[in-house]
Amino acid sequence: MSNTNDPIVIELNMIKIAKVNLWLTLILTILFIIVNSLIHQRFSASFSFWDIFIFIVGYILLIILHEIFHLIGFMIFGKVKFKQLKYGVNLKLGVAYATTTKPLKNAAMKKALMLPFWTTGVIPTLAGFLFDSFLIVTLGAVLIAGAVGDFYMYKELRKYSRDALVKDDPNLPKLYVYE
């Protein structure tokens, strides 16, 4: 894969990521609800059991879509074949994951990391603002905050050349960079 045998390891600290995710979820949810209220001049809200149920179902579906968009990113930007993709849930870590067995160029990996942020975070948030839906705005906030691990990996990958090869760990939230 490269001239050196020892890759640079980028590893997520899941405890730190979980804390940042929690705070970002709270901040973005409050901020987005305030923005939606200001846009639509609606300063009261209510929710029912069904709203909570729809939120939970929507959240689960968007998490699944988040991981599917990583896979789509691997195929589009990294030219990965379908049979080189893996998807699932790591119950021990409590996370859904999408990975590929094929090393990608850094530029492709960074795009694949960010694709779900736009498709499952930003787009639902904008739709929530457009349709005056606190439920959708809140889902968007939660999914944007949920991309914090992707942003961390992206930030770390910016240190390396766009042509460096990046291998995704199949079991852990780690990337191996080969310069």
pLDDT tens, 43-89? 888 889 999 999 999 999 999 999 999 999 999 999 999 999 999 88
Considering the entire predicted model, what is its pTM? 0.90
Domain range enclosing 93: 8-39+49-178
Strand stretches in 27-161, DSSP E: 85-90, 95-100, 104-105
Flag whether 19 is in a domain. Answer: yes
Flag whether 1 is in a domain. Answer: no
Tokens of 167: 């291998």
Q: Look at the chain and report how many structural domains it folds into.
A: 1
Flag whether 156 is in a domain. Answer: yes
Flag whether 2 is in a domain. Answer: no
Flag whether 160 is in a domain. Answer: yes
